Amino acid sequence: MNAPNARPGGLEVWAPSVVPPIGVELTNEQALAIAFRHLAAIGFAENMAGHITWQLDGQTDMLVNPWGLWWQELTASDICVVDSEARVVRGRWDVTPAIHIHTELHRVRDDARVVIHNHPYHACVLAALGRLPELVHQTGSLFLDDLCLVDTYDGEIDSAGRAADLAAQIGEANLTILANHGVIATGRTLAQAVYRAASIERVCKLAYDVMLTGQEPTKMNWSDMAGMQASLLERAADVYWAGAARMTIKADPDVLR
């Protein structure tokens, strides 16, 4: 049927040209509070554990969650600011000494503007086995040649020196699995880091379930995965973020307070 008012479709459209608006212009603190709430809502957070930092371009200070509050209860006014030495320069709460994981990674990685750390369950199953997820699904292409395994657990990382050693092990990877501990996801933007964090738990669950079958999974070609990786980063991350923000605000508008 001929539809004269039809908009382009198929391969003519690289990304959605029309999506519902988030509805409000978000401050950085509001956006970060939404990121915490969203990742908690999809099961990424282990009760009160974990941290997200956001170091804006050209700054050494970073936005961070307070110590002792759960991700799912955070509001924009709870967000603290620490300097590059982890001193709290703004905010009404304390910040965990484990924040050095973030300060030292930001120090050496210009591209890692956002650093997310927590202990999502299925990633922790693989972390307990000391292994990375096998990439056996197209969404796993997001992590093609971008995974790091830190294969030894040696206690809490609560000093800048130990965190600098960890940052050296992570190198250029955007997703690290820490043996017997959890994950570190990074991104140039909040949207990219949140998308990696949200995706790794599902990728690990899928890889684990495939392992349980005892059968050999079908392989994907590297070049197909590389194309999908670029597509996911360029097209999916921002669309994912906008939807996450809409749903989080709708569930509880107080997140913006």
Is the CB of 99 or the CB of 194 nearer to Zn ion? Answer: 99
Residue nearest to Zn ion (CB): 182
Asked whether position 120 contacts Zn ion by CB under 5 A, the answer is no
* Least gap, CB of 151 to Zn ion (angstroms): 16
* Least gap, CB of 102 to Zn ion (angstroms): 11
**CB burial readout 214-223, b (16+ within 10 A) else e:** eeeeeebeee
Is the CB of 183 or the CB of 194 nearer to Zn ion? Answer: 183
Count the site residues for Zn ion by CB under 5 A.
1
In angstroms, the CA 194 to CA 16 distance is 19
* Least gap, CB of 101 to Zn ion (angstroms): 8
In angstroms, the CA 92 to CA 27 distance is 18
Interacting stretch for Zn ion, rule CB under 5 A, among 89-97, 133-141, 155-163, 177-185?
177-185
Give 82's Cβ-side CA count (13 Å radius). 24
By CB under 5 A, the residues from 178 to 217 that bind Zn ion are: 182
Binding to Zn ion by CB under 5 A, coded x per residue (else -) over 124-163, reads ----------------------------------------
* Least gap, CB of 49 to Zn ion (angstroms): 6
Is the CB of 146 or the CB of 158 nearer to Zn ion? Answer: 158
148 touches 171 (CB < 8 A) = yes
Is the CB of 30 or the CB of 118 nearer to Zn ion? Answer: 118
Is the CB of 140 or the CB of 182 nearer to Zn ion? Answer: 182
Residue type, 48: M
* Least gap, CB of 120 to Zn ion (angstroms): 11
Interacting stretch for Zn ion, rule CB under 5 A, among 160-168, 174-182, 195-203, 219-227?
174-182
* Least gap, CB of 240 to Zn ion (angstroms): 24
Is the CB of 182 or the CB of 187 nearer to Zn ion? Answer: 182
Is the CB of 91 or the CB of 182 nearer to Zn ion? Answer: 182
HEC assignment per residue over the chain:
CCCCCCCCCHHHCCCCCCCCCCCCCCCHHHHHHHHHHHHHHCCCCCCCCCEEEECCCCCCCEEECCCCCCHHHCCHHHCEEECCCCCEEECCCCCCHHHHHHHHHHHHCCCCCEEEEECCHHHHHHHHHCCCCCCCCHHHHHHCCCEEEECCCCCCCCCHHHHHHHHHHHCCCCEEEECCCEEEEEECCHHHHHHHHHHHHHHHHHHHHHHHHCCCCCCCCHHHHHHHHHHHHHHHHHHHHHHHHHHHHHHCHHHHC
* Least gap, CB of 123 to Zn ion (angstroms): 11
Interacting stretch for Zn ion, rule CB under 5 A, among 35-43, 89-97, 176-184, 238-246?
176-184
Site for Zn ion, rule CB under 5 A: 182
